[in-house]
Structure 1
Amino acid sequence: MNRTLFFLLTAALLIPAPAHAWGALGHRLVARLAYDQLTPQARAQIAELLSGEVEPTLAGIANWADDLRGNDPDLGKRTSRWHYVNIGSHDCVYEATRDCRKGDCVIEAIQRQSAVLADRSKPKAERLQALKFVVHFVGDVHQPLHASNTNDRGGNDFQVNYRGQGSNLHSVWDSGLLKSARLSEDAYLRHLQALPPPKEATQSLLPTAPAQWAEQSCKSVTQPGFYPARAKLDDSYYTRHRSIAEQRLREGGAHLAQLLNATLSGS
């Protein structure tokens, strides 16, 4: 192997993988918020699909799609583009033909997997996998940096420092903001449940809802101060933006419940 090729391969190994959305805690919170808003019919179908799982709850499967990177690398690679959509450079307006070629983005993935989940003629294993994808991807699309910019890979390439610890903006939004609250999962759930319900949450689910969720996430990124002026973050950044992250989690739970109720509550 020549030295140039060796250098390129070594450099490739050093490139960090894209960060997950919300981290384990955030995804579990979205799932638990959603479960409390499900109809009895939806709960019954979910219980049937989850029977036999190690943790047969929505929270128990909420991080399955991220865990594929270690548990099933081939499927993880094939579905890696399903976790996000890049619309930040287009004024946060989604166009499928431009922004989701071959259907490889979080918006189309939510719609496809919801259709599989709704089809009771499908094998249980296929519907269960679809449920796992839906629960995770609805969480993903509510993380602002999963619907933002290509040029910095959704904040992965935007380096920051907080209290002497180096990180990137994507990781701050995935887990740093939530961890800074220093709450247990149960305590955080109670805190989120006490927040005002999302204003736009309705009983009807429009076909364009996943695109709207992504556009709302993207618009959060465009707000002044989301991208800090300095790489060194202070406590005020965490305090100010944690409330935005919490509202997106609250909205994610409400929207996931809407989607699952619409998909699973029919006859």
Structure 2
Amino acid sequence: MKKFFSICLILLSVVLISWGFKAHRVIATIAQKHLTSNTAYVVSAYLKGESMADVATWADENKNKATTPWHFLNLPLGLTHEDFVKAVQQSDNNTYTALLKTEATLKDKTVNPEQKNEALKYLIHLVGDAHQPMHISRKEDKGGNTIQVRFDNKGTNLHALWDSRLIDHEGLSETAMIKAYDLATPAQIQQWQSDSPMEWLWESYQLSSELYAQTKAGQQIDEAYYQRSIIIVRKRMDQAAIRLAGELNKLFNDEQLKITNVTLVPPPPVSAGVASLVKLEEIKNAIGKTIRTEGKVYSSKDIGSMVLVNLGAAYPNQLLTVVLKGKAKELGTQLENKSITVEGEVTNYKGKPQIVIIDPLKIKF
């Protein structure tokens, strides 16, 4: 029986990027609006001056073999609430256990600020994951990734549909989404924040069970499906934001900050000048530095929440991957075969240098 209810974890590819870049930022921004003043101060200090929106997708961008399972939880269909709770409690290394782990780290007075910074970035992201229905789903179809459907005259899958396609179809900017989604009443806020993470996951499990029943392979997703679904998306994102704020207020509202080696990050001085130029061939030696580099775009790929642009050679032999997000993503179709100059911090992703760009002004061509 225990084996039947054990949680089946599966290492998913980059297609599992929950809620998409814009949605995670919206959840984090709404949550930040509902923080107490002391909580907001503590959060800002632990994040070194970055906003919650700035770090909302950090956990997706820094996945590794150990942390990838933190973003989802796989269960068989048809569980009662009692069986669901037992199954989750017997599980390990998934969204539920990751939420418990990150909150425990943030409560621990002996943990250093760098560890708190990382735990907080995970918590901001994973509360959102817990509310995406297809992240609490079943193993055999990889959370809906293998269930192909069509939407907006394009092929997609059930998981991607709920990650970002429904939101993209709505066509709202981040600012408009925040205004349209942040509608919780005082009574709803009180109720949602009183629910435990186990109940968040149970809600998502119930929804994904309904989606499996309603959505068939090869289905054309019509306007009626979209209209029903976007209401659910809005509510789940609002719930995620309100509950994230609630968790942070519980953790930090009464905390007397005693941090001596973490300060709020000031804007760079005007005299800082332009970032130093590094040759593309030497980019691997610039990990952790903010630099400029130049190179030819050999290939690019739109994966929904971001566009991956390969400089120096085509994938998988590129010297640098430029990750376009937010407003910069719109440049993706304009860069093929062009020589560009890009400015940003070089990070290491699975052994390859990359620069994440949100501001389109950081690319010149």
The two structures have a TM-score, normalised by structure 1, of 0.82
Q: What are the ranges of 5 or more consecutive residues in structure 1 without an aligned counterpart? A: 1-14, 70-75
Distance in 1 (CA, whole Å) between partners of 2:212 and 2:227 is: 12
Partner of 1:157: 146
Cα-to-partner distance string for 1:46-82 (whole Å, 9 max, x where unaligned): 1111225xxx10111110000014xxxxxx2210111
Structure 2 counterparts to residues 136-215 of structure 1, below 5 A: 136-194=125-183, 196=185, 199=188, 201-202=190-191, 205=194, 209-215=196-202
1:60 counterpart = 2:54: yes
Corresponding letter in the other structure for 1:23: G
Quickly say closer, same or farther: Cα 1:172–1:78, change in 2 above 3 A: same
Partner of 2:72: 84
- Say which of 32, 35, 47 aligns to 1:38: 35
RMSD, aligned CA? 2.4
Cα offset, 1:257, TM superposition: 0.7
Partner of 1:121: 110
Partner of 1:22: 19
1:29–1:185 Cα contact (<8 Å) kept: yes
Corresponding letter in the other structure for 1:91: L
Cα offset, 1:264, TM superposition: 1.1
Cα-to-partner distance string for 1:212-257 (whole Å, 9 max, x where unaligned): 1000011112337863245211122112101101100000001101
Distance in 1 (CA, whole Å) between partners of 2:75 and 2:139 is: 8
SS at match of 2:62: helix
Please state which structure has a larger fraction of its residues in strand.
2
1:221–1:227 Cα contact (<8 Å) kept: no
Partner of 2:7: none
1:250 counterpart = 2:238: yes
1:205–1:262 Cα contact (<8 Å) kept: no
Distance in 1 (CA, whole Å) between partners of 2:201 and 2:178 is: 23
Partner of 1:73: none
1:220 counterpart = 2:220: no
Instruction: State how many pairs are aligned.
Output: 241
Partner of 2:95: 106
Q: What are the ranges of 5 or more consecutive residues in structure 2 without an aligned counterpart? A: 1-11, 256-365
Please state which structure has a larger fraction of its residues in helix.
1
Aligned-pair identity (%)? 28
Distance in 2 (CA, whole Å) between partners of 1:155 and 1:195 is: 29
Corresponding letter in the other structure for 1:58: M
Distance in 1 (CA, whole Å) between partners of 2:197 and 2:58 is: 20
**RCO higher in structure (CA 8 A, sep ≥6):** 1
